[in-house]
Amino acid sequence: MPLSSTIPKQQEEDVVLRACLVSQLEQGAVDLPLLPVVATQVLQLSGDPDADPSKLSALIQQDQALAGQILRIANSAAYAPRSPIVSLQQAIAWLGMNMLASLAFSVSVQSGVFKVKGYEQEVRALWHQALASGLYGKEIARRNRHNVENAFLCGILHTIGKPLIIHLINQAQCDSSTQLSWDVIDNLIQEFHIEAGTKLAEAWQLPQPVQEAIRFYPDEAYHQAISPTKGAMITCLADHLATSLVDSASLDEEALRALPVVQDLNFYPDDMDAMFELKDTIQQSVEAFLV
């Protein structure tokens, strides 16, 4: 098809898709994907202060593919076990129950919501950034003495609306023979992902601090968050650091240090130094998930 006829058609589809997304989101007529069953149960278990580690192990073992991925990640260089980990019980002993629950939740979400047909490379990049945000969020929370597991969840889920927008676009385009360019898709994602993510978080009944981070993580919004966990503020900085990690053309170290959220978090120069020193470690951990 000649380029001159392709561009107008894509512009027309962009207008149609935009109108479709607005209508679906405003009316609540969104076909929301379900949170994977194991992820739901892991989330419930990790929120129980009296939870038995053996219950987590038994839960993960219900899904052999998930259990295999967890053991692979636990044995990766990112978590540096002293000897090979061959059971989930060993993994819990080495990593701790909360960390193992976070890994199980992340892998389950990746295999569910982040498996979107079409634009696979771009969706993988979205997951890369989300994982890095979660990992940076943990480190920021640790230095600020806030809940580490909550910060990790906020980070990996703060842009969960992005794959949902792609899912909705795929549905709307099911009869189209023309695949939209990623630039068109990305514009729609940037415009609608927070609203879509908010609806998904409500449907999944995610913890309120996580829902708040999804709504308010951007620079101009985190002051609206009221949770004492500071999840939105932590996620704002984590998102910037993760974006810098995956996109070398984004903010450099000087620009990152100058972000208002750095001051709002009471982060000192040595705190930011510590974040920059984690770059290789974070990348290594992300790659352990993505293999």
Asked if residue 9 has pLDDT above 60, the reply is no
Same domain? 65 vs 187? no
Q: Which amino acid is at 287?
A: E
pLDDT at residue 220, rounded to an integer: 94
pLDDT interval class at 115 (50, 70, 90): confident
Same domain? 45 vs 124? no
Residue 21 within any structural domain of the chain: no
Same domain? 285 vs 154? yes
Ramachandran class of 3: left when φ > 0, alpha when ψ lies in -120 to 50, beta otherwise: alpha
Note down the domain range covering 73. Answer: 34-112
How many domains would you assign to the chain?
A: 2
Same domain? 51 vs 125? no
Residue 250 within any structural domain of the chain: yes
**Percentage of the chain modeled with pLDDT above 70:** 91
Residue 156 within any structural domain of the chain: yes
Same domain? 239 vs 276? yes
Residue 6 within any structural domain of the chain: no
Residue 125 within any structural domain of the chain: yes
pLDDT interval class at 3 (50, 70, 90): very low
Same domain? 223 vs 280? yes
Same domain? 71 vs 181? no
Burial 264-289 (b: 16+ CB within 10 A, else e): ebebeeeebeebeebeeebbbbbebb
Same domain? 274 vs 174? yes
> For residues 20 and 244, which has the higher predicted lDDT (pLDDT)?
244
Per-residue model confidence as pLDDT tens digits over 199-232: 989 988 888 999 999 999 999 999 999 999 999 9
| Cα–Cα distance list, 226 to 209, 229, 233, 282 (Å) | 9, 9, 10, 28
Asked if residue 51 has pLDDT above 60, the reply is yes
> For residues 151 and 25, which has the higher predicted lDDT (pLDDT)?
151
Average pLDDT for 70-84: 84
pLDDT at residue 20, rounded to an integer: 77
Same domain? 199 vs 249? yes
Cβ-proximal residues to 170 (8 Å cutoff; 6+ apart), any chain: 116, 117, 118
Q: Which amino acid is at 255?
A: A
What's 192's domain CATH number? Answer: 1.10.3210.10
Same domain? 150 vs 73? no
Same domain? 246 vs 130? yes
Same domain? 159 vs 222? yes
pLDDT at residue 7, rounded to an integer: 52
